[in-house]
């Protein structure tokens, strides 16, 4: 019995070690390009033109970061990205919560049909609608506005689906207790049920924020004025030639700079992100 237990423990220990080694290897594969980008950002363009392997050797410089601080539009793009990402996240949370509550709790004609129609939105790729959307936004003079950058992302079928399922999982007894406590329907939604959906909102908010931050295509189409570039579009616009044989260090410095906010988001919301991803996997 003891022997069996021991060999089982050894087996488990070995398995754990293999998994740990594989995880470390994968982490290195993930982190190396980022470290490489940081390294490139600390080298002068002249050195990089000669040999990019010079990253590994001194001297290093903060010149590229200095150039960003004095001459680049990156601060403006950063601000745009923050406004668009936060605005879109708040919009998705508000709309998805209200829609989810409606689908989960309210009785109205055609509820199921409308819900299925919303879910159909999950199956429609952005490429299929982007031309029509571009035309529509053009007619409405929404291009090169924050509203124009945020609105498309606010129609979030996944968010509606997630919040609907989450509201459905809350026992209706809670609503009923609040009804007996003389709460209005809005108060039940706002004070009782909505706070209970915070884990789902954290998940949805984080995913929406990351999606909005990394989005490239729609901001490229809609934000054609340099003042309305988001970070992704702005950084891409600073490529000096196709092969990026010149200005590589400067570009990488901007990329690192652009990545800092998202890194901060990860650091502060790591717990929620892990929970969100594992929850989505489950």
Residues binding other proteins (CB under 8 A): 171, 173-174, 176-183, 187, 191-192, 195-196, 198
Biggest CA-to-CA distance, the chain: 77
Q: Could you tell me how far CA 231 lies from the centroid of its own chain?
A: 13
Minimum distance between the CB of residue 198 and other proteins, rounded to whole angstroms? 8
DSSP per-residue codes, 53-118: GGGGSS----HHHHHHHHH-SHHHHHHHHHHHHHHHHHHHHHHHHHHHHHHHH---TTHHHHHHHH
Q: Pick the closer one to other proteins by CB: 176 or 226.
A: 176
Q: Pick the closer one to other proteins by CB: 2 or 182.
A: 182
Q: Pick the closer one to other proteins by CB: 46 or 177.
A: 177
Minimum distance between the CB of residue 195 and other proteins, rounded to whole angstroms? 4
Minimum distance between the CB of residue 12 and other proteins, rounded to whole angstroms? 32
Q: Pick the closer one to other proteins by CB: 129 or 196.
A: 196
DSSP per-residue codes, 230-268: -HHHHHHHT--STT--SSHHHHHHHHHHHHHHHHHHHHH
Which two three-digit tokens encode residue 192? 């009782």
Q: Pick the closer one to other proteins by CB: 84 or 178.
A: 178
Minimum distance between the CB of residue 199 and other proteins, rounded to whole angstroms? 11
Euclidean distance between the first and the last CA atom of the chain, given in angstroms as a whole number: 35
Minimum distance between the CB of residue 220 and other proteins, rounded to whole angstroms? 41
């Amino acid at each position: 019995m003891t022997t069996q237990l021991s060999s089982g423990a050894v087996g488990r220990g070995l398995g754990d070690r293999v998994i740990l080694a594989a995880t470390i290897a994968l982490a290195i594969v993930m982190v190396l390009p980022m470290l490489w980008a940081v390294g490139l950002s600390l080298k002068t363009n002249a050195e990089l033109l000669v040999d990019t392997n010079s990253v590994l050797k001194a001297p290093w410089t903060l010149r590229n970061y200095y150039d960003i601080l004095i001459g680049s539009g990156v601060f403006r793009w950063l601000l745009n990205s923050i406004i668009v990402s936060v605005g879109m996240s708040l919009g998705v949370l508000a709309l998805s919560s209200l829609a989810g509550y409606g689908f989960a709790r309210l009785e109205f004609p055609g509820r199921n049909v409308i819900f299925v129609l919303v879910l159909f939105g999950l199956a429609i790729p952005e490429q299929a609608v982007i031309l029509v959307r571009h035309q529509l936004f053009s007619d409405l003079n929404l291009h090169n506005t924050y509203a124009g950058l945020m609105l498309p992302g606010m129609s979030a079928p996944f968010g509606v689906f997630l919040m609907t399922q989450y509201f459905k999982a809350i026992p209706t007894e809670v609503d009923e207790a609040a009804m007996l406590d003389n709460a209005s329907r809005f108060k039940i939604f706002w004070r009782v049920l909505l706070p209970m959906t915070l884990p789902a909102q954290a998940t949805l908010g984080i995913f929406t924020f990351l999606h909005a931050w990394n989005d490239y295509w729609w901001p490229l189409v809609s934000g054609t004025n340099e003042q309305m570039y988001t970070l992704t579009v702005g950084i891409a616009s600073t490529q000096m030639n196709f092969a990026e044989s010149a200005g590589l260090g400067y570009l990488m410095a901007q990329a690192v700079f652009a990545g800092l906010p998202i890194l901060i988001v990860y650091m502060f919301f790591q717990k929620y992100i892990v929970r969100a991803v594992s929850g989505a996997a489950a």
